[in-house]
Amino acid sequence: MYIGVEQSNGMVFEGSSTYGAKTLWPMPILTPAKFVFDYSESNSLVADEIDLTMVAPYLFREDSFDLVTRIRRGRFYKRRPVAQPENWMVMIDPSVPVEMYPKQQRAVSFESVNPSELEVTNGQQQIVILGSRAAFSIWTVIHKEIVHTREVLVTLKARQSIGALPEINWNCVPDKSGLLKEKIDLLLDDIYRAGAESVVDRAREAATAILSAYLQSVDEAGAIGKDLGALIDLLERQNGKNGQRIVRCAAEIPQRLHSRAKHAEQEKHDNLRPIREQDAELAVQCIGVMLCDLGWAKWN
């Protein structure tokens, strides 16, 4: 299947530039797209040109969007490897006067992405960045199916659904060095840009900074320079088995998840499952729980 995007008014045609096409009305939502695999490539997104379709290698055609679940369904098209724009012979909508809308149009042409181009290996999760460099959103491919036109209907889930952190009251946070804020900022940046393993790694660093700042604020000098495991042990020794237990348990989760991504752990455990989006979401939520239980933040 082919689509063409007219340059002057953005009209969209479907069919063939050679054998004729129909005008799509209402016009579908077409967004520049880029496929990545568990890492950030936002710097290489389409720049904000006057005509994005002239420079976009892929377009996502949205068929439906659920605002509550933040699920989008649609189809991907790639720019045809020919001189652009092409001449299109278009069937005009009866409601449009022919003299106002000639049958021959100049349009940037795209063709359906083949199913093989959407395949992944080694259990990777496929990530799609929609938009341009100035404004974009990140989505995870969660389902694919082939429809009668031989196009691939793709279901996307918003990457921004990874748990947002609570509102932090920095006046209550004993962060004299500013290191804790730096770790939280890095986590927030990775939530929207990086892969699941990186988000878990950032969550572990944030948990380390939180426990270190808390223990130092209660005059536990031994907390300086300790890793997360040692800080968890210090917290238990100071507060007892049941004191600050939720904070301690919340810190253990990103610690345990982080170890799963290590090569040594993967070699020791053949059946160790890979880190997924849901694991990253859990790790981020644990950071929020730690901040709230220590009285430094609150959920909106």
pLDDT in tens, the chain (300 residues): 899 898 777 888 898 767 778 888 888 999 999 887 544 555 566 666 656 777 788 999 999 998 877 899 999 999 998 888 888 888 766 665 555 566 788 889 999 998 888 876 655 667 888 888 778 888 888 889 999 988 999 999 887 555 578 989 999 999 888 999 999 999 988 886 677 888 999 999 999 999 999 999 998 878 888 999 999 999 999 888 888 999 999 999 999 998 876 655 656 656 777 888 889 889 999 999 999 999 999 987
Q: Which residues of 24-49 are buried (b: 16+ CB within 10 A; e: fewer)?
A: beeebebbbbbbbebebeeeebbeee
Give the residue among 124, 159, 67, 140 at the shortest CA–CA distance from 274.
124
pLDDT of residue 102: 64
Task: Please tell me the predicted confidence (pLDDT) of residue 277.
Answer: 81
pTM of the model: 0.60
